[in-house]
Amino acid sequence: MRIQWFGQSAFLLSGEQTVFIDPFGVPGEAMAARGLEFNYAPIANVSADLLLITHEHFDHNGAEVIGGDPVVLRSTAGRLESPIGEVLAIASEHDEVAGTQRGPNTIFCFTLDGLRFCHLGDFGQHALRPEQREAIGEVDVLFIPVGGGPTIGGEPAAALVRSVAPRLVVPMHYRTSAVNFLEPPDAFVSALGASSAHHETSDADVGELLGTQAAPRVVLLAPPLG
């Protein structure tokens, strides 16, 4: 089972089947008009069996860049059938004011090759509500935004990790040399106080990275640059 980071919140999971989450199209021009930099390499020549889109912002919903005629689950909630089996889509918000500022967000949880994955999308609530935490259940690999601003970051993100207790934490949606409008992951890593590693590439074998629930590993994948 391999994970590959394409920048921001975009990941490809490759095992017996393939899942892509939150692809972006070419948002550079739209962001440049607002004084924002977004210089990740374009996503190209990628296919998937299943495509998950957590919310309808243009740096997360570029479904057109993913080939292979995937089944698409986007911005929804419920227990959903898919090529990999059931996908749990949990309703959440992109902000701390019930979605009235930035809209809804979906947390996706699913099992692939025997591992339980949870991708939080642009989770912006201060913390998980009890019913959200119960629905998530046990998690092996957690993808969590840590760059603050429009999402959680720092101590709130660390507290969420402690609540979920995954074996592997993959931070996302934070400042790198490709984006200038988020905070770096340092405050989150410091607040969590967990064992962390900087990976030299943007892809990795999940089995080699797993820690334990008591001692999760935090792995910062290398940002793929254009």
**Most trustworthy range by pLDDT among 53-57, 93-97, 114-118:** 114-118
Which one has a higher pLDDT value, 175 or 32? 175
Go through the domains of the chain in sequence order and give each one's CATH number: 2-220 (3.60.15.10)
pLDDT for 195 equals: 67
Model confidence at 181: pLDDT above 70: yes
- Per-residue pLDDT at 48: 98
- Confidence at residue 27, expressed as pLDDT on a 0 to 100 scale: 62
- Mean pLDDT across 69-75: 96
Q: Is the pLDDT of residue 105 over 80?
A: yes
C-alpha pair distances (Å), 71 with each of 15, 18, 57, 60, 137: 17, 11, 19, 16, 24
Spell out the SS3 assignment of the chain: CEEEEEECCEEEEECCCEEEECCCCCCHHHHHCCCCCECECCCCCEECCEEEECCCCCCCCCHHHEECCCEEEECCCEEECCCCCCEEEEEEECCCCCCCCCCEEEEEEEEECCEEEEECCCCCCCCCCHHHHHHHCCCCEEEEECECCCCCEHHHHHHHHHHHCCCEEEEECCCECCECCCCCCHHHHHHHCCEEEECCCCEEEHHHCCCCCCCCEEEECCCCEC
The pLDDT tens digits of the residues spanning 6-42 come to 999 999 999 999 999 999 987 656 677 777 888 898 9
pLDDT at 59: 86
- Would the pLDDT of 223 be above 80? yes
